[in-house]
Amino acid sequence: MSPVPPPPLVTVAHSRAAISGRVADLAAFVRHSAPEVPLSKHPLWLDVLRTGLGHEVYALETTASGRTVGFLPLACVSSMLFGRFLVSLPYLNTNGVVAHSADVQAELVARAATLAEELNVRYLELRHEAPIAHSALNASLTSKVHMRLPLPGCSEQLWKGFSPKVRNQIRKGEKGGFSVQWGGAECLDGFHDVLCANMRDLGSPVYGKELFRAILNTFPNDAEICLLHAGDHPVAAALLLHGWGITEVPTASALKEQNPSNVNMLMYHHLLQRAIERGQRVFDFGRSTVASSTFRFKKQWGAIPHPATWQYSVLQGEVGDMRPDNPRFQQVIRVWQRLPVALTRLVGPLIVRGIP
């Protein structure tokens, strides 16, 4: 008897109207795709990006005999300044193809490359961790790594694992008299005030409140803000996303003038404790360039580098055209750092929504 051939693969590009009807099945598929799955892999991020940034979104789904075997979320980032890009997914550090077999991976990449051509974008960007071999993917960036810390079972073990230097910095922060607030939308104004000031100092346009409001509204039980105050004044803030076994911090800021107080160290200690309280096994500090100051900051907590392979199908120009380390942006960054925070708060969201 000849072997039974595998069922044919069917890949569909669900547009906005059809996505809501597929969220439950896609979420269940993603949830069981790995031992730890970040919240950033949840298909509801497509709704967040549509609501919070105005992106057109697509859910590529591959099925076999009616069962989901692959998923690729995509958002079309478009602006008059920079052009159009198809990304999985903007704002988030990791996403891309979720599939267990090479044939399904190839099917999804091929459909995404075709969609990129149909939408006439400059490039397709897939924010992978492990590379996928496909002829349509003709460029990659591997200069950054994910910094992740395996978490112990309790806060006492966490403290014992810190170096004496880290413990002393946390103690100094504790002596500053800062109050700690956890919450959702009620913390959004203070969170955004700190973020706007910090991003201006870094020379980067800031995301608007609408994005963070959409995140908090979409994930009311799994997204929360940590806000530290000096008196009534917010001085440090972070957004935490609690996934399946892993907590990530995609956005965190502290006011530059508070650097001597070590409030940032105090805040990160609270973030790590919060993840442990939630029963998480891993804390994701986000991506950093190897040997950079942010890399060293994360490494001092015990975080371990993990690969980040952002893959591209470049149709127009080059990948480096839109990277912040491109020399042509250095003068713009210096000018931005001298602008009033009130102006960058107003203009920044209009610019950053068009940056992949």
Q: 26-78 pLDDT, tens per residue?
A: 999 999 999 999 999 999 999 999 999 999 999 999 999 999 999 999 999 99
The sign of the torsion formed by the CA atoms of 189, 190, 191, 194 equals: positive
pLDDT in tens, 127-151: 999 999 999 999 999 999 999 999 9
Q: Are residues 139 and 153 in the same domain?
A: no
pLDDT in tens, 6-15: 889 999 999 8
pLDDT in tens, 273-330: 999 999 999 999 999 999 999 999 999 999 999 999 999 999 998 887 766 666 777 8
pLDDT level of residue 216 (50, 70, 90 thresholds)? very high
pLDDT in tens, 332-356: 889 999 999 999 999 999 999 999 8
User: Residue 248 belongs to what domain range?
Assistant: 147-306
1 within domain boundaries = no
Q: Are residues 136 and 173 in the same domain?
A: no
Taking the whole predicted model, whether its pTM rises above 0.75 is answered as yes
Q: Are residues 158 and 88 in the same domain?
A: no
Q: How far apart are CA 129 and CA 340, in angstroms?
A: 37
Q: Are residues 119 and 190 in the same domain?
A: no
Q: Are residues 95 and 204 in the same domain?
A: no
331 within domain boundaries = yes
> Cβ of 232: how many Cβ atoms within 10 Å?
7
Q: Are residues 276 and 287 in the same domain?
A: yes
Beta strands in the chain (DSSP E): 9-14, 56-64, 67-79, 83-88, 98-99, 123-128, 139-141, 144-150, 179-183, 223-230, 233-242, 246-254, 282-289, 304-307, 309-314
The reported pLDDT for the residue numbered 6 is 80
> Number of folded domains in the chain?
2
Exposure letters 244-274 (e unless 16+ CB within 10 A, then b): bbbbbbbbbbbbeebeebbbbbbbbbbbbeb
Q: Are residues 36 and 141 in the same domain?
A: yes
Q: How far apart are CA 72 and CA 66, in angstroms?
A: 17
Q: How many residues does the chain have?
A: 356
Q: Are residues 246 and 317 in the same domain?
A: no
3-state secondary structure string across 214-283: HHHHHCCCCEEEEEEEECCEEEEEEEEEECECEEEEEEEEECHHHHHHCHHHHHHHHHHHHHHHCCCCEE
Q: How far apart are CA 215 and CA 115, in angstroms?
A: 26
